[in-house]
Amino acid sequence: MSDTPWYNRGLFSSLNLRQKTLLTIALTGLLLAVIFISGMMIDANLPTDFSIKMRPPSFDHIFGTDWMGRDMFIRTLKGLSLSIIIGIGASIISSIIATLLAFLASVNKYCDEFVSWLIDLFASIPHILLIMMISIALGKGAFGVIMAVAFSHWVNLTRVLRAEVLQINTSEYVSLSKRFGKGKLWIAKEHILPLVLSQIFVGTLLVFPHAIMHESSVTFLGFGLSPHEPAIGIILSESMTYLAMGAWWLAFFPGLALLIVVLLFDIIGDNLKRLFDPSQANN
């Protein structure tokens, strides 16, 4: 049986592809929920204890401790949950923007041109620059970062949805609906929305990793969250001072954890896409 692929052997061989996809989504979702909830429960105002400062990873402090003797594992968890909140906020707002703009584009030719122009405009500005500007304009902090990431990440989803809505609008069932005397608003709500809903959902999840990465990078650069919040970006930028002194664990573990969370969201998004739209699974 050497020609069976790896995913059809061993423990999960009795499951079909759909069940495997569902299992993957459930497990990654569970892992993210555990990270998020434990991060929320933890009080991150750790007491400073200079007797254990700058300890490398050990069984007592598996991610090591920082220059004030605080446990890095707890700070990392707190930072990740903060990142997840910002990711949720930003991706939901950006998909709402994308949906509204996609429907606006379907109203008439001028609206479509306006939306296309808006897409080109936002796509031509580097994301990180846009995020920094919006974040500063809105007074930094979590709110500023959420809005900044949301207002820079609707572009791709809008482009996809606009094309989809355009295609549905030229279908025979929509033109028939118009001949039955149905209005544009009714058609948008009843015909088009159910057909693009899965795309909106998947799009929201796939914005997530971008949102988290960008939040961390602007925070790292000092334009995002304020320094007293234990965000991953803050932790990383603080660790830069101590890296030269050999405290590699201050940057390594939080960075790795951030990467894993981003990857988990990406896995969920991809698997959901496969579940909703099997014909696209091979692309």
Chain residues in the site for another protein (CB under 8 A): 171-173, 175-177, 179-182, 191, 194-195
- Residue 108, phi-psi category: left (phi > 0), alpha (psi -120 to 50), beta (remainder): beta
Spatial contact of 192 and 169, defined as CB atoms under 8 Å apart:
yes
What minimum distance in Å lies between the beta carbon of 195 and another protein? 6
3-state helix, strand and coil shares in percent for the chain, rounded to the nearest 5: 75, 0, 25
What minimum distance in Å lies between the beta carbon of 160 and another protein? 18
With respect to another protein, which residue has the nearer C-beta, 59 or 173?
A: 173
What minimum distance in Å lies between the beta carbon of 283 and another protein? 20
Spatial contact of 221 and 132, defined as CB atoms under 8 Å apart:
yes
With respect to another protein, which residue has the nearer C-beta, 163 or 243?
A: 163
Helix, strand or coil for residue 71?
Answer: strand
What minimum distance in Å lies between the beta carbon of 203 and another protein? 18
With respect to another protein, which residue has the nearer C-beta, 53 or 191?
A: 191
What minimum distance in Å lies between the beta carbon of 185 and another protein? 14
With respect to another protein, which residue has the nearer C-beta, 33 or 197?
A: 197
Tokens of 255: 């960075």
What minimum distance in Å lies between the beta carbon of 186 and another protein? 10
With respect to another protein, which residue has the nearer C-beta, 55 or 184?
A: 184
With respect to another protein, which residue has the nearer C-beta, 3 or 172?
A: 172
With respect to another protein, which residue has the nearer C-beta, 126 or 181?
A: 181
Q: How far apart are CA 230 and CA 239, in angstroms?
A: 12
Give the contacts of 128 (CB within 8 A, at least 6 positions apart).
214, 217, 218, 221
What minimum distance in Å lies between the beta carbon of 91 and another protein? 24
